[in-house]
Structure 1
Amino acid sequence: MKIVTILGARPQFIKAAPVSRVLRKKHTEIIVHTGQHYDANMSDIFFEELNIPKPDYHLGVGSGTHGKQTGEMMIKLEEIVLNEQPDYVLVYGDTNSTLAGALVAAKLHIPVIHVEAGLRSFNKKMPEEINRIMTDHVSEFLFCPTDTAVENLKNENITRNVLNIGDVMYDAVLYNKELAQEKSTILADLRLEAKQYHLITIHRAENTDDVQNMKNILEAFAQIEEVKVWPMHPRTKHKLASYGLRVDTIPNLKVIEPVGYLDMLTLECNAKKIITDSGGVQKEAYFMQVPCVTVREQTEWVETLETEANILVGTDVEKIVAAVKKDVRPVYSEVFGDGKAAEKIVEAIEHV
């Protein structure tokens, strides 16, 4: 069996690592990196740390408008898929790379495997929501991380080859958590003490493309007195500069460059709370049993909200500050599976 796997962004590299490990024991995998994340700290380091084989193709698409980026990916991916003639094309998540790969494969009548299918925020202003819906509706295999995702697909009349296999990111966390504790020196490097700082990640377009949202977020951070660590996404850094917004006046804020996966796991595991707008980081916070505050109006990871493991606050200054200060004692459960999602994916494909 020959599979072309299409990757483009940090979360996809993490999800691909456990699946590639299992897949390559018996089958051929061709990895295509679209170049959607092209900064070394957002791309290359993940392949090295996670022992993902180097991409067979690197498209170097880079940033751009949604139409330009997706279109350029499709043009280049079509040539590769025609050349490789795979049995399946495998895509992850909800990025423009996901949609481009799914559309190219579907139009060439090559079955699409979508890992992390069925997620819905029910907010079509989010580009990720459009990507999810479109990808799910052209996919042959839909591997869901939760029962909620399966139900979402059922509500859209998608029931064939839909399986809840758990979350591949949980596989990755379980596999790499101990390695991170052994190898990462990030706490010492930043002179941080465990559970004495808050970790921040902000990069979603719904926030970074809105100057008022970013002003509110920065104002909230200024009112949170404790130490805050912010590995800043290049896109966020660029947007703040374009708005003329400064972060160097915010007390006890350490802004650092994006970090690798092992360093990120260490920062997440040892944080007092995590403040984010990232879907992947919300889940990693849940896996690490660290309370999370999500700077969005909706989340596709509704399971994390049930016991206040995750609190939605939007970009309201008072709500952000109150949620960070709130003393919560969440109960965590195995809603994201047993950490063996990768094996279940490969087994399902093999038994078609």
Structure 2
Amino acid sequence: MSEISPATDAVRRGHELAITMGDPAGIGPEIICRAVAGMSGAERGAVLLVGDPTIYRRAAALIDAPLEFVALEEARPGDGRVAVAEVPVEGQIADGRIGAAAGDLAFRCVKRAVELVQDGQARVIVTAPLNKAALHEAGHYYDGHTGMLAALTGAPSSFMLLASERLSTLHVSTHVSLRGAIERVTEARIAATVEVGHEHLAAMGVAAPRIAVAGLNPHCGEGGIFGDEDERIIAPAVRALRERGFDVHGPISADTVFYRAFRGEFDLVVAQYHDQGHIPVKLIAFDTTVNVSLGLPVLRTSVDHGTAFDIAWQGKADATNMGAAIAYARRLAGNARP
């Protein structure tokens, strides 16, 4: 993988972010165009859209946004035009419908974005939502963006962070069954999750990250009455991390730990499985939570919602979450090591 450096010609052109359109049958193209339309000329020069320019032009027309799209090779920073790394449509796409052509385009956009970052033509990937059923219909059998990015970059593992202003959660496991999630609660995985969370917070300017580890069972097992994983696996993992110098606490019962973090006691909660971490964050910050992939050799943020096929291509989609994902990505780009 080539080293990403601010000294590259591409970064001098200002392409901090590569934004993928997601599933083109969904709201991705619209929310991207809404977000870009609200940018200054200089801000537009710092983004690079990935996808089919015809689709972006259609989305811009849908929301009456006077955007001009230009091929990556012709982009000039500050002129107000939007650079596009073209990934053409192959096949027919129906608005608001699951389809192989749409799933394949979504995959190829992410693949192209990874290549752009690896080549130094962008620093952070921002992804619009894709549809897993469409992805699978196209023959790309991933559990979502995070697993796809891990496969594309050769990363041995990855982690999903949900970041919001008052509460952030990092997950030991995400897109697996509840039974599978319990099997993934190991000392090694908990340690790796805390380590990558600490590293990310430090890179984002948190001087001494305070991390809480949620328990797995009700009341952390209540002394083994409701399960022994908390005492047998999670507690020893936390003790070992504390001995290594991490400011980490737990296991803390999941029915209190998120409230304590929300009140400011912790900077991050390590959740043991998908819903345990997603529900509290989405409850308090549904429109502004950002999905961040950690543990990968590329930086990536995303909206934390789906393709919304029910309102796709109707001019109704709200771009608030896309704006939050872009803002977080800009912070990542600014904090990334040269």
Interval containing the TM-score (normalised by the shorter chain): 0.3 to 0.5
TM-score (norm 2): 0.33
Higher-Rg structure is 2
